[in-house]
Structure 1
């Protein structure tokens, strides 16, 4: 298994060619990783060490580039990025790989997509790990319109909004398609009703950095769910929590107890 640059394959769903990798033990329990906004399977899961961590623990590790991201096709219609639409991409990947059910592990936007997958296809979701998104899942995470504006600005120097600058710099760093990302940020922000969170019976771990000013409380979200636990990731913000060793240990312990 090449931990630095896993080989990607593609499949087609909803008229889009979507890229993914399938690594680790083919006989292991499958974990489907769903990355966050403006990221990619490599940036979100390979560079921070999740592929190695899960692969070394014996899991089959699968991750896709969400539509609009990485090596996948990049529509520019915001309606193409509704979270329930993107959730169907993830379930279609399981269909493509003939996997009946998997652990779904999503970070930030990927956490929202994972929840919509659990609501739409509870039989396919063995468990949920939701990183970087707490009660913001139901209550919102602030005004994201300035981020779309930042992505479409001529240059980073033209952006004054702090969160807009952060995501614009990230998009530039990952050489992303900024038009597709602007459509994504407009289309992917649908909230989940509190009573819908209460319908999710899959065992769930919610991990949020203690310095994350985007996600909202992990504990408040866990309290809405029948089988969820919250994890504070000490001293980490939204960008740095994803690769934290406390988070990694907690996820492995969570999976071991299932």
Structure 2
């Protein structure tokens, strides 16, 4: 497994240029990784060691920079950031790479995109991992309007909202386009109904940190799906759960079980 930072390629979909990496064993079962809000494929999957972990387990590892993020195009129109559109980007990447079916794992907003992809493109999705998003997929994850305000504020010092301040600082750390992120947060939180979740019949794993105050219950979300299980990521909040070793071990065991069938 090459431990150097992955090289990114680009493809076009829906009028946008989108960036992705394609690493690991080309003959291995493909795993498509979909990152969270204000993150990128590098920040969400490379830096916390996911690319190394999954690649060394023999998988082909593909990571997309969602529209508005990373090295992908960053439109400022909120109408372009609904989850079905980003799910269509992910499915188009599989088509671009000639991949008929993949394990799909998303974190936070990426988990929501993964769910929409599983519903709209079920034959492309071999399994789903929802990280950092539990019952909030259905019930909502609170009032995020202050986050858009925080992203558009003149400076971090002007932000008093706690969660807004956290995401504004994260956006500055990742050198993100804050106007694109503000547009994204306005429309990327479309909810799924319990009936929608019940239609996701692929093997599913839901993983949420026990100190995550954003995601909602992993167990409650898993209970809505016919073929799902939940795990707790002990002692981790929304940000720190991403690279946790308990999470990684559970995902590798989940994939091994599916691939042995």
- Cα displacement string for residues 64-96 of structure 1 (whole angstroms, at most 9, x for unaligned residues): 100000000001111100000000000000000
- Secondary structure, counterpart of 1:243 in structure 2: coil
Which whole-Å CA distance do the structure 1 matches of 2:187 and 2:196 have between them? 20
For the pair 1:245 / 2:245, whether they are aligned, the reply is yes
Residues 4 and 46 in structure 1, CA contact (< 8 A), matched pair in contact too? no
Shift of 1:135: 0.2
Q: CA RMSD in A?
A: 0.6
Name the CA shift for 1:226/1:167 in 2 (closer, same or farther; >3 Å).
same
- Secondary structure, counterpart of 1:184 in structure 2: helix
2:141 is aligned to 141
Shift of 1:241: 0.3
Structural mapping, 1:1-258, within 5 Å: 1-258=1-258
Which whole-Å CA distance do the structure 1 matches of 2:130 and 2:51 have between them? 17
Shift of 1:4: 3.9
Gaps of 5+ in 2: none
Which whole-Å CA distance do the structure 2 matches of 1:180 and 1:2 have between them? 32
Which whole-Å CA distance do the structure 2 matches of 1:73 and 1:6 have between them? 19
Gaps of 5+ in 1: none
How many residues of Structure 1 are paired with residues of Structure 2 in the alignment? 258
Report the TM-score, using the length of structure 1 for normalisation.
Answer: 0.99
Which whole-Å CA distance do the structure 1 matches of 2:105 and 2:192 have between them? 17
Which whole-Å CA distance do the structure 2 matches of 1:42 and 1:155 have between them? 25
Shift of 1:2: 3.9
Which whole-Å CA distance do the structure 2 matches of 1:110 and 1:192 have between them? 14
- Cα displacement string for residues 209-256 of structure 1 (whole angstroms, at most 9, x for unaligned residues): 000000000000000000000010000000000100000000000001
Which whole-Å CA distance do the structure 2 matches of 1:97 and 1:187 have between them? 28
Which whole-Å CA distance do the structure 1 matches of 2:45 and 2:24 have between them? 13
